[in-house]
Structure 1
Amino acid sequence: MSESVQPLPSSLQRSLDRFYEYLRSEKGLSLHTQRNYKQQLGTMAQYLAQLGLKEWSQVDAGWVRQLASKGMREGLKASSISTRLSSLRSFFDFLILRGELVANPAKGVSAPRKSRPLPKNLDVDEVGKLLDVTDDDPLSIRDRAMMELMYGAGLRLAELVDINVKDVSLFSGDIRVVGKGDKERKVPFAGLAKEWVGKWLKVRSGLANSDEKALFVSKLGVRISHRNVQKRMAEWGQKQAVSSHISPHKLRHSFATHMLESSNNLRAVQELLGHENISTTQIYTHLDFQHLAQVYDQAHPRAKKK
């Protein structure tokens, strides 16, 4: 049996009723939006009244944080908590407009971040199908080299685009990349990634402007753009009849998944990806480059010579 809703103290209800009238007559919001505001604010007002709130002027940021925490405990999605806090901010702005409050206590309280689900990774056979590019024109060689490197080294899109020719060492099989926060790292690459980057370097001068430093260039001879890389990879996914949409991040995610499955070495893969461990309960262990290269050579499906 559900609990009955207790009437709110008149001091709280009066301000809410004025706000609902304001939404209806002056803001001209749809009935659906008005009902949503009413439901959200009514739920929060009930909870605050149960905690002993008598006047809206008593509310501070601590009270608002309690409301957000309550939503999280109830299992609300981040988007729902964000909507709830948004309606509260609008209500408090209205009270400030009427002179009943001097500051908005909900302004400094953020909703929890919305989780961003990782893209579904490709299996090894799908990657093989995608990367079976046999065209010998320079743009196709470039595109296969980009995809092999993205999957072969687990690079971010920005890292791939920012690589300069001088950052690549085919002899030692490593690339200098600059990741998030301008943090530099050295990543190993081998096998097919190394082979196709080498093929691209042989034909690159036919496309690149003489003073262009970028490893990968567009048909205009300048550094390729993020959008162009995304577009070309998506097109190759369709051309190679891969069932799912292909994006640079999906190749990076596939790299991480396949490396973890093969090596079962989480810390090594985190280093290869350039991830920082943000957990305060786990000590981040630095692994030297030689060890990372060894893990890579043993584990990555396309680093092994056939």
Structure 2
Amino acid sequence: MLIDNKVLKIHNKSDKPDNIVTRNNDLIERCILIEKKLPKFMKDYFIYLKGSVAVSTRLAYLEDIKFFCSYLIETKELTNAYEISEISLKEFEAIKARDVNLFLGDYCTRYYKQSSSTTLIYENNNRALARKKSSISTLFKFLYRNEQLVDNITDGFNPIKLPKPQPDAIKRLEIDEVAKMLDSVESGYGLTEKEKVYWRKTKLRDKAILALFVTYGLRLNELRELNISSFNFSRGEFKIYRKRGKEVLMPINHTCELVIKDYIYNERPQSEMLIEEYKDALFLSLQNKRLNPKAIRQLVKKYTSISMETSRDGGYSPHKLRATAATSLIQNGFSIYDVQNLLDHDNVTTTQLYAAHKKHVKRDIVNNFEWIEDDSNLD
């Protein structure tokens, strides 16, 4: 990592592993770079974000606000500035709710970016527009509360309707498809000859990754950031780092313990052979680096496509394995509150969507539990 052409070294006195500290620092550095480009009058807002939201959320808000300020410069209707940093508080005071609604409803839905050789077309769905609206709302509300703006214009922002999640539309693997997926990574079934070349070198790693996904419903980054030191096999537990910096101890079941130990002892390169940065990283690429998100998505897509007998493009993402874990647990009788706790859902209504898949189990129960005999079947 470089700052002003100097190598940045982490002096870590926390109990978090270096990779988590480094990841958070990378996000913070990106936040600082954006803040330097934004108007000076937003400084108090930057301090507010530091203490009130997760660093990943802070970065997302700053990126959206920078995008909004770029729009102000580009349209030249609401500012005379040529650079984002030159936009004044007085010009922000003149912005009305209608201006923000035009930005969100007209400009953001479809806009163009020119390069030397191409024109890129960007489109945002309602979910992306809602996030941008939220980012801009937090800024205007803060400036109003901070007595930098006279009026709170956010009440005039148009609502953005989001599609209501439908339980039947949740994509996940069925139990028999999970079995087929794990059999594929065990035997190489369904892989092309070219894929088998890599499979022979990574099958234990891939099996451990898939087992963790479908057992615990981990998020991609929660799995990617796992270290060997995350696991305490004598206590039967491992530690993960969730959103908003939460540390969580998870009990490790027998199956996952077996596949992880099998990978560590029989396939993963010995730590002495690795550079310092990756000595503790659990899941490594063939280049002996921590496995990147793209590679994890690709391997999940590959094995899920085999289990569903579809094309590689038709395979599922790691998030669909999170949904698979949720529905499987509920179908096996665990309460939605237990599953909510395991998967770290902020709201139980999210977990209830997966519980809706259990309705066919209820139907099977009552259909096979008749108290009154049907006379029409008696001859």
Q: In the alignment, is the contact (CA less than 8 A) between 1:131 and 1:144 conserved in 2?
A: yes
Shift of 1:276: 2.5
Q: In the alignment, is the contact (CA less than 8 A) between 1:126 and 1:242 conserved in 2?
A: no
User: Does 2:290 correspond to 1:223?
Assistant: yes
Distance 1:267 1:225, change over 3 A: same
Match for residue 172 of structure 1?
Answer: 235
The structure, 1 or 2, with the larger RCO (C-alpha pairs under 8 Å, 6+ apart) is: 1
The amino acid of 1:216's aligned partner reads F
Alignment partners' CA distance in 2, 1:268 and 1:106: 38
Q: In the alignment, is the contact (CA less than 8 A) between 2:239 and 2:250 conserved in 1?
A: yes
Alignment partners' CA distance in 2, 1:206 and 1:115: 49
Q: In the alignment, is the contact (CA less than 8 A) between 2:340 and 2:348 conserved in 1?
A: no
SS in 1 for 2:186: coil
Match for residue 269 of structure 2?
Answer: 205
Aligned residue among 255, 259, 274 for 2:325: 255
User: Does 2:124 correspond to 1:124?
Assistant: no
| Greater fraction of residues in helix | 2
Match for residue 186 of structure 2?
Answer: 134
What's the % identity of the aligned pairs?
A: 26
Which sections of structure 2, spanning at least 5 residues, go unmatched?
1-74, 76-95, 102-124, 134-150, 188-198, 350-379
TM-score by length of 2: 0.43
The amino acid of 2:291's aligned partner reads I
Alignment partners' CA distance in 2, 1:275 and 1:130: 26
Q: In the alignment, is the contact (CA less than 8 A) between 1:163 and 1:214 conserved in 2?
A: yes
Write out per-residue CA displacement over residues 205-244 of structure 1, whole angstroms, 9 at most, x where no aligned residue: 2597253121111111111111110011112233455446
Q: In the alignment, is the contact (CA less than 8 A) between 2:97 and 2:157 conserved in 1?
A: no
Q: In the alignment, is the contact (CA less than 8 A) between 2:172 and 2:320 conserved in 1?
A: yes
Distance 1:113 1:216, change over 3 A: farther
Match for residue 303 of structure 2?
Answer: 236
Deviates further, 107-116 or 197-206: 107-116
The amino acid of 2:299's aligned partner reads R
Write out per-residue CA displacement over residues 244-301 of structure 1, whole angstroms, 9 at most, x where no aligned residue: 622211111111111112123111111111222378xxxxxxxxxxxxxxxxxxxxxx
User: Does 2:334 correspond to 1:264?
Assistant: yes
Alignment partners' CA distance in 2, 1:104 and 1:177: 40
The amino acid of 2:268's aligned partner reads R
The amino acid of 1:217's aligned partner reads L
The amino acid of 2:305's aligned partner reads Q
Aligned residue among 194, 198, 208 for 1:145: 208
Deviates further, 117-126 or 172-181: 117-126
Q: In the alignment, is the contact (CA less than 8 A) between 1:141 and 1:196 conserved in 2?
A: yes
Write out per-residue CA displacement over residues 59-85 of structure 1, whole angstroms, 9 at most, x where no aligned residue: 978xx9xxxxxxxxxxxxx949x79xx
Flag the structure with larger Rg: 1
Which sections of structure 1, spanning at least 5 residues, go unmatched?
1-26, 28-58, 65-77, 87-102, 280-306
The amino acid of 2:342's aligned partner reads L
Alignment partners' CA distance in 2, 1:160 and 1:116: 29
Across the two proteins, how many residue pairs are aligned to each other?
189
Shift of 1:108: 5.9
Shift of 1:164: 1.1
SS in 1 for 2:338: helix
